[in-house]
Amino acid sequence: MKSIFGPVPSRRLGRSLGIDVIPAKTCSFDCIYCESGPTTCLSVTRKNFIDCSEVLEELGAFTRKNPNGADCFTFSSAGEPTLYDPMGELISAIKKAYPQIPLIVLTNGSLLWKPEVRQGLLKADRVVPSIDAVTAAVFHKINRPHPSLEIGRIIEGIRAFRKEYKGQLHIEALFARGINDGPEELSAMAAVIASIAPDRVELNTVVRPPAHEGTRGLTGEEMTRVAGFFSSLHVEIIGTFQSQGQTGTDRDLEQRIVETVERRPCTVAELAASLGVSVARVEQESERLGKQGKVSRVSFGGKSYISGPEHA
Ligand code: SF4
Protein backbone atom coordinates (compact mmCIF):
# COMPACT_ATOMS: atom_id res chain seq x y z
CA MET A 1 0.00 0.00 0.00
CA LYS A 2 1.49 3.32 -1.05
CA SER A 3 -1.29 5.79 -0.45
CA ILE A 4 -3.33 4.47 2.45
CA PHE A 5 -2.32 3.90 6.05
CA GLY A 6 -3.92 2.84 9.30
CA PRO A 7 -6.70 2.75 10.28
CA VAL A 8 -5.61 5.10 13.04
CA PRO A 9 -7.77 5.01 16.18
CA SER A 10 -9.16 8.50 16.80
CA ARG A 11 -11.17 9.68 19.77
CA ARG A 12 -13.40 11.82 17.58
CA LEU A 13 -13.46 9.93 14.30
CA GLY A 14 -13.37 6.27 15.36
CA ARG A 15 -11.11 4.22 13.07
CA SER A 16 -9.79 6.64 10.50
CA LEU A 17 -8.19 5.20 7.37
CA GLY A 18 -5.54 7.67 6.17
CA ILE A 19 -5.18 8.60 2.49
CA ASP A 20 -1.83 10.16 1.60
CA VAL A 21 -1.32 11.38 -1.98
CA ILE A 22 1.64 13.71 -1.35
CA PRO A 23 5.38 12.88 -1.20
CA ALA A 24 6.64 13.31 2.38
CA LYS A 25 7.39 16.92 3.29
CA THR A 26 6.14 18.45 0.07
CA CYS A 27 4.24 21.40 1.49
CA SER A 28 3.36 25.05 0.97
CA PHE A 29 4.34 25.71 4.61
CA ASP A 30 7.35 24.82 6.75
CA CYS A 31 5.66 25.07 10.16
CA ILE A 32 7.96 25.31 13.16
CA TYR A 33 5.78 22.76 14.97
CA CYS A 34 5.47 20.19 12.15
CA GLU A 35 5.70 16.70 13.60
CA SER A 36 6.97 15.34 10.29
CA GLY A 37 10.16 17.40 10.33
CA PRO A 38 11.29 20.33 8.15
CA THR A 39 9.73 20.79 4.72
CA THR A 40 12.14 19.57 2.04
CA CYS A 41 10.04 20.70 -0.94
CA LEU A 42 8.42 24.10 -0.26
CA SER A 43 5.98 24.43 -3.14
CA VAL A 44 2.61 25.77 -4.27
CA THR A 45 2.63 23.80 -7.54
CA ARG A 46 -0.17 21.27 -7.75
CA LYS A 47 0.82 17.96 -9.31
CA ASN A 48 -0.51 14.51 -10.02
CA PHE A 49 1.81 12.64 -7.64
CA ILE A 50 -0.07 9.33 -7.94
CA ASP A 51 -2.79 8.12 -10.30
CA CYS A 52 -6.32 8.26 -8.85
CA SER A 53 -6.82 4.69 -10.10
CA GLU A 54 -3.95 3.45 -7.90
CA VAL A 55 -5.47 5.07 -4.80
CA LEU A 56 -8.87 3.59 -5.63
CA GLU A 57 -7.34 0.14 -6.14
CA GLU A 58 -5.61 0.34 -2.75
CA LEU A 59 -8.84 1.46 -1.07
CA GLY A 60 -10.66 -1.40 -2.80
CA ALA A 61 -8.07 -3.93 -1.62
CA PHE A 62 -8.36 -2.65 1.96
CA THR A 63 -12.15 -2.61 2.06
CA ARG A 64 -12.44 -6.08 0.48
CA LYS A 65 -10.09 -7.47 3.12
CA ASN A 66 -11.64 -5.42 5.97
CA PRO A 67 -15.31 -4.85 5.02
CA ASN A 68 -16.05 -2.87 8.21
CA GLY A 69 -12.47 -1.80 8.88
CA ALA A 70 -12.80 2.00 8.70
CA ASP A 71 -15.29 4.46 10.21
CA CYS A 72 -14.04 7.27 7.96
CA PHE A 73 -11.44 8.14 5.34
CA THR A 74 -9.11 11.05 6.11
CA PHE A 75 -6.83 12.87 3.66
CA SER A 76 -3.81 13.55 5.80
CA SER A 77 -0.10 13.49 5.06
CA ALA A 78 3.34 14.75 5.94
CA GLY A 79 2.64 17.46 3.36
CA GLU A 80 -0.29 19.51 2.04
CA PRO A 81 -3.05 17.34 0.47
CA THR A 82 -4.46 20.11 -1.79
CA LEU A 83 -1.15 20.11 -3.70
CA TYR A 84 -2.57 16.95 -5.30
CA ASP A 85 -3.90 18.24 -8.60
CA PRO A 86 -6.72 15.72 -9.26
CA MET A 87 -8.05 16.04 -5.69
CA GLY A 88 -11.60 16.82 -6.87
CA GLU A 89 -11.65 13.85 -9.22
CA LEU A 90 -10.39 11.51 -6.49
CA ILE A 91 -12.84 12.79 -3.86
CA SER A 92 -15.76 12.36 -6.30
CA ALA A 93 -14.68 8.82 -7.15
CA ILE A 94 -14.27 7.85 -3.47
CA LYS A 95 -17.67 9.28 -2.53
CA LYS A 96 -19.27 7.44 -5.47
CA ALA A 97 -17.72 4.13 -4.42
CA TYR A 98 -18.18 4.56 -0.63
CA PRO A 99 -21.09 6.99 -0.12
CA GLN A 100 -21.71 5.74 3.42
CA ILE A 101 -18.17 6.39 4.72
CA PRO A 102 -17.48 9.99 5.83
CA LEU A 103 -14.58 11.60 3.96
CA ILE A 104 -12.49 14.20 5.80
CA VAL A 105 -9.77 16.50 4.45
CA LEU A 106 -7.15 18.04 6.77
CA THR A 107 -5.51 21.00 5.01
CA ASN A 108 -3.35 23.99 5.89
CA GLY A 109 -5.85 26.05 3.85
CA SER A 110 -3.10 27.86 1.95
CA LEU A 111 -4.53 27.19 -1.52
CA LEU A 112 -8.24 27.79 -0.83
CA TRP A 113 -8.01 31.19 -2.54
CA LYS A 114 -7.87 29.18 -5.79
CA PRO A 115 -11.43 28.48 -7.04
CA GLU A 116 -10.39 25.09 -8.48
CA VAL A 117 -9.06 23.94 -5.08
CA ARG A 118 -12.32 24.96 -3.36
CA GLN A 119 -14.35 23.27 -6.08
CA GLY A 120 -12.42 20.02 -5.63
CA LEU A 121 -13.25 19.82 -1.92
CA LEU A 122 -17.01 20.42 -2.19
CA LYS A 123 -17.96 16.72 -2.05
CA ALA A 124 -15.95 15.99 1.12
CA ASP A 125 -18.06 15.51 4.26
CA ARG A 126 -15.75 17.54 6.48
CA VAL A 127 -12.92 19.95 5.67
CA VAL A 128 -10.53 21.14 8.40
CA PRO A 129 -8.34 24.09 7.34
CA SER A 130 -5.80 25.54 9.79
CA ILE A 131 -5.51 29.14 10.91
CA ASP A 132 -2.54 29.57 13.30
CA ALA A 133 -2.15 33.33 12.80
CA VAL A 134 -3.89 36.25 11.13
CA THR A 135 -1.15 38.89 11.09
CA ALA A 136 1.64 38.62 8.52
CA ALA A 137 4.46 38.74 11.10
CA VAL A 138 3.10 35.87 13.22
CA PHE A 139 2.04 33.89 10.12
CA HIS A 140 5.65 34.02 8.86
CA LYS A 141 7.03 33.04 12.27
CA ILE A 142 4.84 29.98 12.83
CA ASN A 143 3.99 28.69 9.33
CA ARG A 144 7.11 29.84 7.38
CA PRO A 145 5.09 29.84 4.12
CA HIS A 146 6.11 29.69 0.47
CA PRO A 147 7.13 33.28 -0.48
CA SER A 148 4.12 33.68 -2.79
CA LEU A 149 1.56 33.15 -0.01
CA GLU A 150 -0.17 35.96 1.88
CA ILE A 151 -2.26 35.41 5.01
CA GLY A 152 -4.98 37.90 3.95
CA ARG A 153 -5.56 36.04 0.70
CA ILE A 154 -5.65 32.68 2.51
CA ILE A 155 -8.26 33.93 4.98
CA GLU A 156 -10.38 35.27 2.10
CA GLY A 157 -10.09 31.84 0.46
CA ILE A 158 -11.34 30.08 3.60
CA ARG A 159 -14.17 32.64 3.87
CA ALA A 160 -15.18 32.02 0.24
CA PHE A 161 -15.09 28.26 0.84
CA ARG A 162 -17.40 28.63 3.85
CA LYS A 163 -19.98 30.28 1.60
CA GLU A 164 -19.77 27.64 -1.13
CA TYR A 165 -19.41 24.49 0.99
CA LYS A 166 -22.39 22.61 2.42
CA GLY A 167 -20.44 20.13 4.58
CA GLN A 168 -18.92 20.48 8.05
CA LEU A 169 -16.20 23.16 8.22
CA HIS A 170 -13.94 22.89 11.25
CA ILE A 171 -10.99 25.24 11.76
CA GLU A 172 -7.92 23.99 13.60
CA ALA A 173 -5.65 26.49 15.35
CA LEU A 174 -2.35 25.32 16.84
CA PHE A 175 -0.58 27.36 19.50
CA ALA A 176 3.14 27.52 20.23
CA ARG A 177 4.46 29.22 23.35
CA GLY A 178 5.63 32.79 22.78
CA ILE A 179 4.77 32.69 19.07
CA ASN A 180 0.99 33.03 18.56
CA ASP A 181 -0.36 32.94 22.13
CA GLY A 182 -0.21 36.67 22.93
CA PRO A 183 -3.48 38.51 23.65
CA GLU A 184 -3.33 40.72 20.54
CA GLU A 185 -2.93 37.84 18.10
CA LEU A 186 -5.51 35.74 19.98
CA SER A 187 -8.10 38.56 19.86
CA ALA A 188 -7.45 39.10 16.15
CA MET A 189 -7.65 35.36 15.43
CA ALA A 190 -10.89 35.01 17.37
CA ALA A 191 -12.47 37.90 15.43
CA VAL A 192 -11.39 36.53 12.04
CA ILE A 193 -12.47 32.97 12.82
CA ALA A 194 -15.83 34.14 14.20
CA SER A 195 -16.42 36.09 10.97
CA ILE A 196 -15.87 32.89 8.96
CA ALA A 197 -18.48 31.10 11.12
CA PRO A 198 -17.08 27.53 11.11
CA ASP A 199 -19.13 24.69 12.57
CA ARG A 200 -16.39 24.05 15.13
CA VAL A 201 -12.96 25.36 16.19
CA GLU A 202 -10.35 22.82 17.31
CA LEU A 203 -7.56 24.22 19.50
CA ASN A 204 -4.32 22.32 19.50
CA THR A 205 -0.76 22.73 20.75
CA VAL A 206 2.66 21.16 20.25
CA VAL A 207 2.40 17.61 21.62
CA ARG A 208 4.98 15.79 19.47
CA PRO A 209 8.61 16.54 18.66
CA PRO A 210 8.51 19.62 16.39
CA ALA A 211 10.44 20.48 13.22
CA HIS A 212 12.08 23.47 14.90
CA GLU A 213 13.80 22.33 18.08
CA GLY A 214 13.02 25.30 20.31
CA THR A 215 9.25 25.14 19.72
CA ARG A 216 7.21 24.64 22.89
CA GLY A 217 3.62 23.66 23.58
CA LEU A 218 1.11 25.20 26.00
CA THR A 219 -0.04 23.60 29.24
CA GLY A 220 -3.66 22.61 29.80
CA GLU A 221 -4.16 25.73 31.91
CA GLU A 222 -2.74 27.95 29.18
CA MET A 223 -4.94 26.25 26.57
CA THR A 224 -7.99 26.97 28.73
CA ARG A 225 -6.95 30.64 28.75
CA VAL A 226 -6.60 30.54 24.95
CA ALA A 227 -10.04 28.90 24.63
CA GLY A 228 -11.53 31.85 26.52
CA PHE A 229 -10.80 34.09 23.50
CA PHE A 230 -12.98 31.82 21.33
CA SER A 231 -15.87 31.50 23.77
CA SER A 232 -18.46 32.81 21.28
CA LEU A 233 -17.74 29.79 19.06
CA HIS A 234 -18.25 26.04 19.31
CA VAL A 235 -14.73 25.33 20.53
CA GLU A 236 -12.93 22.17 21.54
CA ILE A 237 -9.44 21.73 22.97
CA ILE A 238 -7.84 18.73 21.28
CA GLY A 239 -4.60 16.89 22.03
CA THR A 240 -2.91 16.35 25.36
CA PHE A 241 -0.65 18.79 27.06
CA GLN A 242 2.82 18.76 28.40
CA SER A 243 3.86 20.44 31.63
CA GLN A 244 5.37 23.89 31.31
CA GLY A 245 8.89 23.99 29.90
CA GLN A 246 8.95 20.44 28.51
CA THR A 247 9.66 19.85 24.86
CA GLY A 248 7.16 17.75 22.91
CA THR A 249 7.77 14.02 23.15
CA ASP A 250 5.44 11.23 22.26
CA ARG A 251 5.83 8.61 24.98
CA ASP A 252 2.97 6.60 23.52
CA LEU A 253 4.58 6.34 20.08
CA GLU A 254 7.96 5.56 21.66
CA GLN A 255 6.41 2.75 23.65
CA ARG A 256 4.50 1.37 20.69
CA ILE A 257 7.63 1.29 18.51
CA VAL A 258 9.71 -0.40 21.24
CA GLU A 259 6.96 -2.94 21.97
CA THR A 260 6.44 -3.72 18.30
CA VAL A 261 10.09 -4.22 17.35
CA GLU A 262 10.84 -6.17 20.53
CA ARG A 263 8.51 -8.87 19.17
CA ARG A 264 9.39 -8.64 15.50
CA PRO A 265 11.84 -6.47 13.53
CA CYS A 266 9.96 -4.14 11.17
CA THR A 267 10.90 -1.82 8.34
CA VAL A 268 10.18 1.87 8.89
CA ALA A 269 7.36 1.67 6.30
CA GLU A 270 5.75 -1.28 8.12
CA LEU A 271 5.90 0.57 11.45
CA ALA A 272 4.44 3.73 9.93
CA ALA A 273 1.57 1.76 8.38
CA SER A 274 0.76 -0.28 11.48
CA LEU A 275 1.08 2.61 13.95
CA GLY A 276 -0.74 5.10 11.73
CA VAL A 277 1.97 7.77 11.63
CA SER A 278 4.15 9.12 8.84
CA VAL A 279 7.38 7.44 7.75
CA ALA A 280 9.18 10.65 8.70
CA ARG A 281 7.83 10.42 12.27
CA VAL A 282 8.96 6.79 12.64
CA GLU A 283 12.39 7.69 11.22
CA GLN A 284 12.71 10.58 13.66
CA GLU A 285 11.53 8.57 16.67
CA SER A 286 13.58 5.44 15.91
CA GLU A 287 16.72 7.53 15.44
CA ARG A 288 16.15 9.05 18.88
CA LEU A 289 15.44 5.60 20.39
CA GLY A 290 18.56 4.24 18.68
CA LYS A 291 20.71 6.88 20.38
CA GLN A 292 19.21 5.80 23.72
CA GLY A 293 20.01 2.14 22.95
CA LYS A 294 16.32 1.16 23.05
CA VAL A 295 16.21 -0.05 19.42
CA SER A 296 18.79 -0.93 16.80
CA ARG A 297 19.02 -1.19 13.02
CA VAL A 298 19.66 -4.54 11.35
CA SER A 299 20.01 -5.39 7.67
CA PHE A 300 18.60 -8.57 6.22
CA GLY A 301 17.88 -9.57 2.62
CA GLY A 302 18.81 -6.11 1.36
CA LYS A 303 16.33 -4.36 3.69
CA SER A 304 16.91 -2.28 6.80
CA TYR A 305 14.87 -3.18 9.90
CA ILE A 306 14.27 -1.53 13.25
CA SER A 307 14.83 -4.14 15.89
CA GLY A 308 15.04 -4.60 19.65
CA PRO A 309 18.29 -3.73 21.45
CA GLU A 310 19.39 -7.39 21.68
CA HIS A 311 20.08 -7.36 17.93
CA ALA A 312 22.61 -4.52 18.29
S1 SF4 B 1 2.24 20.99 9.86
FE2 SF4 B 1 1.17 20.53 7.97
S3 SF4 B 1 1.19 22.49 6.90
FE4 SF4 B 1 2.76 22.64 8.45
S5 SF4 B 1 4.68 21.99 7.44
FE6 SF4 B 1 3.77 20.16 8.43
S7 SF4 B 1 2.59 19.21 6.81
FE8 SF4 B 1 2.96 21.32 6.16
**Ligand 1, residues at Cβ distance < 6 Å:** 27, 29-31, 34, 36, 39, 78-80, 108
Query: 211 CA distance to ligand 1 centroid (A)?
Result: 10
CATH of domain 4-248: 3.20.20.70
Q: Where in the chain is the domain with CATH 1.10.10.10?
A: 250-312
Give the chain as a 3 state SS string.
Answer: CCCEEEEEEECCCEEEEEECCCCCCEECCCCCCCCCCCCCEECCCCECCCCHHHHHHHHHHHHHHCCCCCCEEEECCCCCHHHECCHHHHHHHHHHHCCCCCEEEEECCCCCCCHHHHHHHCCCCEEEEECCCCCHHHHHHHHCCCCCCCHHHHHHHHHHHHHHCCCEEEEEEEECCCCCCCHHHHHHHHHHHHHHCCCEEEEEECCCCCCCCCCCCCCHHHHHHHHHCCCCCCEEECCCCCCCCCCCCCHHHHHHHHHHHHHCCECHHHHHHHHCCCHHHHHHHHHHHHHCCCCEEEEECCEEEEECHHHC
Q: Where in the chain is the domain with CATH 3.20.20.70?
A: 4-248
Query: 161 CA distance to ligand 1 centroid (A)?
Result: 20
pLDDT by 10s per residue, the chain, length 312 = 588 887 776 666 777 888 999 998 999 999 999 978 899 999 999 999 999 999 999 999 999 988 888 889 999 888 999 999 999 999 999 999 999 999 999 999 999 999 999 999 999 999 999 999 999 999 999 999 999 999 999 999 999 999 999 999 999 999 999 999 999 999 999 999 999 999 999 999 987 668 888 899 998 889 999 999 999 999 998 854 433 333 344 556 787 787 667 766 778 887 877 676 788 888 989 998 998 898 988 877 677 888 887 543
Query: 77 CA distance to ligand 1 centroid (A)?
Result: 9
**Residue 242: its pLDDT value, please?**
39
Answer whether CATH 3.40.50.460 is correct for domain 250-312: no
